[in-house]
Amino acid sequence: MSFANYDTEFLSLSGQIQTSLKNLQSNQDSNSANSLNFCKSLLSQCDDLLKQMSVEARSVDSPTEKSDLLKKVRVYKARLANLRDDYKSCKTMIERESLLSDGSSNTSGGIKNDHRERLLQTNQSLAAQNDTLENARRVMAETEDVALEITSELGRNREKIQSAHGRVRDVSGLTNQARRIVQSMSRREVQQKLALMIMSFLIVITFLIVIYRMWKF
């Protein structure tokens, strides 16, 4: 799947979660337990989609497009975090209402008010601990994403540096070759000048000999 497909699916799932949570908050849902499980499943699917979107975004070659896609992933992560908080609030509210309704319907005995309050406090404490663990897990996942992005960027920089070194070596090789050509041309020029001087000397000698013989005869 492409990033666009993951994007469309995430928006669809997050919209379903938002609608279900609104129904739960307004007490319009008659089967709150199933709705909570449904929302939990959709939240997990959205989390998986964001991981895939992050991978797809990091694999894009264009720096500008890659930056835009990663920015969209961060926005979606914030939206998912808000939906997760709303889900936890709905879950706590429904569990509290369930305990209170059980207590009020059993007036002849059963769970006492103080016992019921302790149960509520225990549930809230467990929920807070779960939130802390979930936040820690999310921070670790985000840290891992950042580390992968930094590693990818370092890899690209290393490739650029290696490419630059290769070009420097090529230029250095061309420079050395040009230097050898210039030296060869200089030697050839010296040789040509020396040959011209020798030829000029021989011509002068020959001319003098011819004049001498003509004068002698």
- In angstroms, the CA 63 to CA 127 distance is 41
Statement: residue 58 has pLDDT above 90: no
Contact yes or no for 53/73 (Cβ under 8 A): yes
Q: Binning pLDDT at 50, 70 and 90, where does residue 159 land?
A: confident
Phi-psi region of 109 (alpha: psi -120 to 50; beta: other; left: phi over 0): left
State both tokens at 58.
């990091």
Q: Binning pLDDT at 50, 70 and 90, where does residue 108 land?
A: very low
Residue 213 counted as domain residue: no
Q: Tell me which of 9 and 211 has the higher pLDDT.
A: 9
Q: What is the pLDDT of residue 212?
A: 77
Residue 204 counted as domain residue: no
Contact yes or no for 19/41 (Cβ under 8 A): no
Residue 23 counted as domain residue: yes
9-50: pLDDT as tens digits: 999 999 999 998 888 877 765 677 788 888 989 999 999 999
Highest mean pLDDT among 108-117, 135-144, 149-158, 203-212: 203-212
Statement: residue 140 has pLDDT above 70: yes
Q: What is the pLDDT of residue 164?
A: 75
Q: What is the dihedral of CA 146, 152, 153, 156, to 10 degrees?
A: 180
Residue 196 counted as domain residue: no
Summarize the confidence of residues 65-74 as an average pLDDT.
Answer: 89
Q: Tell me which of 32 and 53 has the higher pLDDT.
A: 53
**In the chain, what percentage of residues exceed pLDDT 90?**
13
Q: Which domain holds residue 153?
A: 3-171
Q: Find the DSSP H helices in the chain.
A: 3-25, 32-58, 63-105, 113-216
Residue 188 counted as domain residue: no
Q: What is the pLDDT of residue 89?
A: 85
- In angstroms, the CA 103 to CA 113 distance is 7
Contact residues for 16 (Cβ-Cβ < 8 A; gap 6+)? 42
Q: What is the pLDDT of residue 12?
A: 93
- In angstroms, the CA 102 to CA 34 distance is 19
Q: How many domains does the chain have?
A: 1
pLDDT mean across residues, the chain? 79
Q: What is the pLDDT of residue 95?
A: 76
Statement: residue 129 has pLDDT above 80: no
Contact yes or no for 87/107 (Cβ under 8 A): no
The total of other beta-carbon atoms located within 10 Å of residue 35's CB is 17
Q: What is the pLDDT of residue 107?
A: 45
Q: What is the pLDDT of residue 162?
A: 77
Statement: residue 118 has pLDDT above 70: no
Residue 202 counted as domain residue: no
Residue 210 counted as domain residue: no
Q: The tokens 């020396």 sit on which residue?
A: 194
DSSP-assigned letters across all residues of 195-207: HHHHHHHHHHHHH
The residue type at 177: Q
Residue 114 counted as domain residue: yes
Q: Binning pLDDT at 50, 70 and 90, where does residue 8 land?
A: very high
Q: Tell me which of 53 and 136 has the higher pLDDT.
A: 53
